Amino acid sequence: MSDGGIVNIHGKQYKTVARRIADFREMHPNYSIASEVLSAADLVQVKATISDEAGRVLATGLAEEERGSTNINRTSALENAETSAVGRALAFLGLGGTEIASADEVANAINQQKEMEAVARLQQHNTALRDNLPSILAIKNALSEDAYSTAKECWQELSEDEQRALWVAPTKGGVFTTQEREKMKSGEWANA
């Protein structure tokens, strides 16, 4: 969805930081961008400053990232924060498209939200698994013997929330195999 460094996300136009920097260098070849690490601890904080050729500060941008909060922040929290700070400073200078946040920041926020949702689903799954292990083992055993009535009866003893929490794909860490899930979607299951 990118067009020359401009990304449309939910109907809003965001420029990538790379696009903002290219525009900045073209428009102001004698201006400078400087970044300063304010904190490099678990919470990484960076300040970017844009100055003209006389050294006057024209814009600043701040950003912070929590180490380990996303895949990229496990290895590159400082770099990620610096990129965001630069992007925000450039937006405050007027190179932001229709939004202050950069496309990179919005994409990172969306990915982080998806990761957090996936972790929450897996935690719900694991809690339902722990709390209902005997029932789940009974379902799995009954399915292995094609005893659909027994399996379905055990499944129906679980609450809808527990069923929903356990219905996680095996590739995402779910307790039921692909074959078991197919049986639970079959006509034999429906008729049991």
Separation of alpha carbons 100 and 93, rounded Å? 10
Query: Are both 12 and 75 inside the same structural domain?
Result: yes
- Residues 74 and 100 both lie in one domain: yes
Q: Is 187 part of any domain?
A: yes
Highest mean pLDDT among 48-52, 96-100, 114-118, 126-130: 48-52
Contact by Cβ (8 Å): 65, 81: yes
Which of 43-57, 96-110, 112-126 holds the top average pLDDT? 43-57
Report which of 85, 32, 97 is spatially closest to residue 61, judged by C-alpha positions: 85
Domain tally for the chain?
2
- Give the predicted TM-score (pTM) of the model: 0.54
User: Do 51 and 143 share a domain, yes or no?
Assistant: no
The C-alpha angle with vertex 58 and arms to 57 and 63, in degrees rounded to 5, equals 90
Q: Are 84 and 78 in contact (CB under 8 A)?
A: no
Could you tell me the CATH number of the domain that includes residue 27? Answer: 3.30.160
Same domain, 110 and 179: no
Is residue 127 in some structural domain?
Answer: no
pLDDT at 51 exceeding the cut of 70: yes
Share of the chain above pLDDT 90, in %: 60
Residues 149 and 89 in one domain: no
Angle at 5 between CA 21 and CA 96, to 5 degrees: 55
- Residue-wise pLDDT for 1-35, tens only, equals 345 777 766 777 777 888 889 999 999 999 999 99
The pLDDT value given to residue 24:
94
- Determine, yes or no, domain membership for 18: yes
Contacts of residue 35, Cβ cutoff 8 Å, sequence gap at least 6: 46, 47, 48, 49, 82, 85, 86
| Residues 6 or more apart in contact with residue 111 via CB below 8 angstroms | 70
The one-letter code for the residue type at 69 is S
* Domain ranges, residue 157: 132-191
Q: What is the pLDDT of residues 79-114, one digit of tens each?
A: 989 998 999 899 889 887 655 666 666 666 767 777
